Amino acid sequence: MATPKKDQPGAAGAAGSLRGDDPWSLTEHAPQLLASAAEQIGDALQALQSGVDQLQSQQRLGPQGQLALGVPLGRIKRLTFVMQQLNRFHSGRIRQSHEKVDLARLAEDSLQERRKEFALLGIEMRRKLKPVDVLIDPAVAHAFLNALLDWALPLGRRIDVRVDVNHWPPHARLQVRVHGDGAPPSSMPTSLDNLDWALVRQIAATASGIDLQREITPDGITTTALFQRTAQSVDGISAIELSTEEQSSMFKSLQSVYALVISPSLQIRADVRDALREIGVSADSVVDLQQASDAIGHRTPNVIVIDAALKGVDFDVFRREVLGLTMDMPFVEISPDDSSFDMSGFGEMAMAKVGRGNIREALGTAVMFELAKTM
């Protein structure tokens, strides 16, 4: 029997022949396919965007047409970005330098960067952030947090972000909770295990040392990330029977606390700042509620000290807005009664009171008590 020539059908290596020793594996080829798909979608998107830009320049695309094309274009751009990020973090080409990163500061900066986006989407984004350091690459940590937010945004209109320390093991904990408002998980507007969630898991795997947990209930979805490489735990604060050593430890922990003072009185603002400085708390001061809202837009305080002269309907609105932004925000009122000193209760609207003539003696204790309730 004649042996087939190389280029004849059936010959080994012939064009179009199947090689039995090269089995197909989707798992093996997934990274290359992901990169190729992202590239092809990106090219198609660029061509589509060019066409839309041309129509707009020729005034052949009205507002409704722009909206009709703009929404899907935005979704495709987002999909392409996620696929590129998935491939980037899966490829192992990420150079990491583990540094000490304040997880609370990172979260606050990320939330502030995207504040306008949340407002446009109608998202009520609340946060409760306690300083805790983790050892992680800063860029990877930033990408992880934003990927987690991107996954959560389509799932609900009320989202809480928390940073604190888990009780046991004592690891830094990042929680993102999407409120379901009693809706069943099956009514969620999008799949939970989508590409955004895949990116969250892939970044966590690339960073290593991040344990992910997800709990789904009728009340909502809570995603928890525990950071094994926690540099230090946040010192606890107790406002009851503090020893000298405990006070010293507390003052060290208060050095990361930032206060906002609101008063039209120059003297009150100065007295409050001096009293806060004595316990290691940094502070900025403003004269009215509008300036306070602007200041909070740039940096969220840990506690707010308010002059009683500004209380009223406008203050009630201001406080509701602040509590909508930051859960359990402590407020301390500076009362016109010089000698007054009242600790607050534990209700959401409770507020401690310190008299104008008692600021230097009592304000520090009141602020520490209010902060202790949020710990």
Together in a domain, 272 and 357: yes
pLDDT of residue 152: 93
For residue 121, what is the DSSP state? Answer: H
Together in a domain, 103 and 228: yes
* Among the ranges given (9-18, 92-101, 238-247), the one the predictor scored with the smallest mean pLDDT: 238-247
Most confident of the following: 6-20, 24-38, 85-99, 164-178? 164-178
Q: Three-class SS string for 178-217?
A: EECCCCCHHHCCCCCCCHHHHHHHHHHHHHCCEEEEEEEE
pLDDT at 314 over 90: yes
Place of tokens 């888990």: 166
pLDDT of residue 5: 45
- Asked if 372 contacts 239 with a C-beta cutoff of 8 angstroms, the reply is yes
Together in a domain, 175 and 257: no
Would residue 51 count as lying in a domain?
Answer: yes
Would residue 1 count as lying in a domain?
Answer: no
pLDDT tens sequence across 353-375: 899 988 988 898 888 888 877 66
Together in a domain, 34 and 86: yes
pLDDT at 61 over 60: yes
CATH number at residue 366: 3.40.50.2300
> Using N-to-C axis directions, what is the helix angle for 266-278 and 359-374, rounded to 10°?
60
pLDDT of residue 324: 79
- The total of structural domains in the chain comes to 3
For residue 233, what is the DSSP state? Answer: P
* Rounded mean pLDDT, 168-190: 73
Handedness of CA 315, 161, 146, 73 (dihedral sign): negative
- Asked if 133 contacts 256 with a C-beta cutoff of 8 angstroms, the reply is no
pLDDT of residue 254: 66
Residues whose CB is less than 8 angstroms from the CB of residue 270 and which lie 6 or more positions away in sequence, other chains included = none
Angle CA(87)–CA(91)–CA(97) in degrees, nearest 5? 110
Domain boundary among 207, 232, 257: 232
What does pLDDT average to over the chain?
A: 77
Together in a domain, 134 and 186: yes
| β strands within 64-120, DSSP E | 99-102
Would residue 22 count as lying in a domain?
Answer: no
Quote the CA–CA distance of 255 and 209 in Å, as a whole number. 28
pLDDT of residue 240: 31
Together in a domain, 113 and 218: yes
Together in a domain, 251 and 212: no
Together in a domain, 120 and 55: no
Together in a domain, 176 and 285: no
pLDDT at 107 over 70: yes
* Rounded mean pLDDT, 18-47: 62
Range of the domain at 318: 244-374
Quote the CA–CA distance of 81 and 202 in Å, as a whole number. 14
Quote the CA–CA distance of 275 and 195 in Å, as a whole number. 51
pLDDT at 340 over 50: yes
pLDDT tens sequence across 207-223: 888 999 999 888 889 99
Together in a domain, 205 and 142: yes
Would residue 303 count as lying in a domain?
Answer: yes
The 10 Å Cβ neighbour count of residue 184 is 10
Would residue 15 count as lying in a domain?
Answer: no
pLDDT of residue 222: 93
Domain boundary among 186, 206, 232: 232
**What 3-state DSSP class applies to 25?**
coil
Higher-pLDDT residue of 282, 3: 282
* Rounded mean pLDDT, 308-312: 93
Would residue 2 count as lying in a domain?
Answer: no
pLDDT at 70 over 50: yes
Together in a domain, 72 and 139: no
Token output for 338: 């010089």
- Asked if 254 contacts 280 with a C-beta cutoff of 8 angstroms, the reply is yes
Higher-pLDDT residue of 97, 179: 179
Could you tell me if residue 182 is left (phi over 0), alpha (psi between -120 and 50 degrees) or otherwise beta? left
Would residue 254 count as lying in a domain?
Answer: yes
Domain boundary among 90, 112, 140: 90
CATH number at residue 202: 3.30.565.10
Together in a domain, 83 and 39: yes
* Rounded mean pLDDT, 62-74: 63
- Asked if 73 contacts 49 with a C-beta cutoff of 8 angstroms, the reply is yes
**What 3-state DSSP class applies to 325?**
helix
pLDDT tens sequence across 130-145: 889 998 988 899 999 9
Element (H, E) at 86: helix 63-90
* Rounded mean pLDDT, 266-272: 93
pLDDT of residue 24: 47
Would residue 21 count as lying in a domain?
Answer: no
